[in-house]
Amino acid sequence: MPAIREPALDVRGLVKRYGDHTAVRGIDLQAHHGAVTALLGPNGAGKTTTVECCVGLRSPDDGSVRLLGRAAAETGADDRARVGVMLQDGGLPNQARPLELLRHLARLYAAPADVEELAARLGIDQFAATAVRRLSGGQRQRVALAAALVGRPELVFLDEPSAGLDPQARHTVWDVVRDLCTDGVAVLLTTHDMEEATRLASEVVIVDDGRVVAQGTPAHLTSSYGTSSIRFTAAPSLDLEELRRSLPTHLSIGETRPGEYVIAGDVDPAVVATVTAWCASQGLMPDQLAVGRASLEDVFLDLTGRALR
């Protein structure tokens, strides 16, 4: 029987404090070779601090982090060369030009990726000679991603890699991440994009207030959390109090985006009738009314709340 491969990333009981504030409260998570682990949470939930502890930018106050089979505190330069990191701020030098920067980084590795091929795939060749300071946010994101991948890492941390990207660039980034998994790379991905997590992740870890509040595959989380939901679109900022009073108390109702409404929980024919009757009483013709299983976004919002952070 073949040996079971150790996770590329193994975090146990991670704790990080800033003075009297505990940002991370005993988080456990793993990232496996050939798979994407998505770390989800509201702003301030502890995601970025967790990643920073994993990559050595911050020292944990308790718990353990193992990278590619070795305790993070014991890793040397050769070990770190096997890890790629893309952080939110990018960390790119403002005066550098993207292609020159990637060529410089490639020279630091024994067997780097083909820089021209990587730049072409991410569309960097279209602005290769423009200084980083003059790039748009989305262009900087693509350069930061290429910088994280140029060393052919075995484990890569991607902190909101598609933030600020247009739809074409976002889908290109998703394809790149899928190819990383095909090549056996372990990916830890933080994102606020629930579609991104649903499409890419083999495992989802939801954190709130520095703790893991749910964990599992996207299918497991959505199927075990709620049986169904009702979604419809209409004018934004509708007064939902009358509808809320008409529905069973176990259902949640909210406006997830301007003009997009979701009733989540155990939806039966009586609930559907109540919602459509309320729409009729308001003179509303709801668009795209659909009954379906709870989405990952529904699970996320019900676990972490709907209030702004």
How does DSSP assign 208-261, residue by residue? ETTEEEEEE-HHHHHHHH-SEEEEEE-SSS---HHHHHHS-TT-EEEEEETTEE
Nearest partner of 144 among 83, 54, 84, 56, judged by Cα: 84
Evaluated on CA atoms 57, 60, 65, 71, the torsion sign reads: positive
Cβ-contact 101, 132 below 8 angstroms? yes
What pLDDT does residue 5 have? 80
One pLDDT digit (tens) per residue for the chain, 309 residues? 455 689 999 999 999 999 999 999 999 999 999 999 999 999 999 999 999 999 999 999 999 999 999 999 888 889 999 999 998 776 899 999 999 999 999 999 999 999 999 999 999 999 999 999 999 999 999 999 999 999 999 999 999 999 889 999 999 999 999 999 999 999 999 999 999 999 999 999 999 999 999 999 998 898 776 557 898 999 999 999 999 999 999 888 989 889 999 998 788 899 999 999 999 999 999 888 888 877 888 889 888 986 766
The domains found in the chain, sorted by start residue, are 9-221 (3.40.50.300), 227-292 (3.30.70)
What pLDDT does residue 36 have? 98
What pLDDT does residue 200 have? 97
Nearest partner of 142 among 106, 170, 112, judged by Cα: 170
Q: Which residues share a beta bridge with 40?
A: 206
Residues 220 and 218: their CA atoms lie apart, in Å, by: 6
